[in-house]
Amino acid sequence: MREIIFDTETTGLDPKTGDRLVEIGCVEVVNRFPTGRNFHVYINPGRSVPKEAFDVHGLSDAFLADKPRFDDVADAFVAFVGDAQLVAHNASFDMGFVNYELKATGRLTFGTERVVDTLMMARRKHPGAPASLDALCNRYGIDRSKRVKHGALLDAELLAEVYLELTGGRQAGLDLTVSVQSATSGETGGRVALRPRPVPLPPRLSPLEAQAHAAFIATIGEKALWSTYFDDGERTETA
């Protein structure tokens, strides 16, 4: 199952009153496991950034002046999302801005049936407890020391960890490689094998237990199943 954990930063609270997106950050999760494949872009909103918004995310007019407009990055964003489920914290806010921008540029919007709101999940799982992203990171022991200001990609990465905890914890799959890919208005990356254990685990059988096992197998005779595959502890070819 492929899911996109995402977050946005904006110039304000309501796109209908002229506020716009200034940043989108996405993290890909497959079968509840982050793949390392991300999408991140800053956006020129075509308007000034109010001080209140700057104090939250630190993205100034000067910084955003040479960044692409939403129309220039929308296709790459939609392609990255594909048919995946979208996951956001206080999703109505982020989806409100994303869908407003998509509609304004003549594109199809995302349906609410594709969206999971982790704020609602947290409130159901921990009724009465604080449910902000910071509070959930503290609850689950997730390091948020780099979150000096809000940032879409950083917040999406933190939310991905929170989401795994809200859905039962990290579940490792059987795939021994992970896709490492990061995109800033695009994509790069490849397949990277997970590192092997630097020091093998010690054997759990004592020499005495191993001898006892070998003696027991010897009593079974040549028709023992083990004899079909092993000969003196070494693998042999079978017909």
Q: Rounded to an integer, what distance in angstroms lies between the CA atom of residue 187 and that of residue 37?
A: 8
Q: What are phi and psi of 228, to 5 degrees?
A: -70, -30
Burial 94-124 (b: 16+ CB within 10 A, else e): bbbbbbbbbeeeeeeeeeeeebbbbbebbee
Contacts of 206 (CB under 8 A, 6+ apart): none
Cβ atoms 43, 64 nearer than 8 A: yes
Marked catalytic residue, from 40, 89, 150, 213: 150
Q: In whole angstroms, give the CA distance from residue 36 to residue 178.
A: 8
All residues at 6 or more sequence positions from 167 whose CB lies less than 8 Å from its CB, including other chains? 32, 121
Distance in angstroms (rounded) separating the CA atoms of residues 151 and 59? 9
Rounded Cα distance, 51 and 54, in Å:
5
* Whether residue 150 lies in the annotated active site: yes
The catalytic site residues sit at: 150
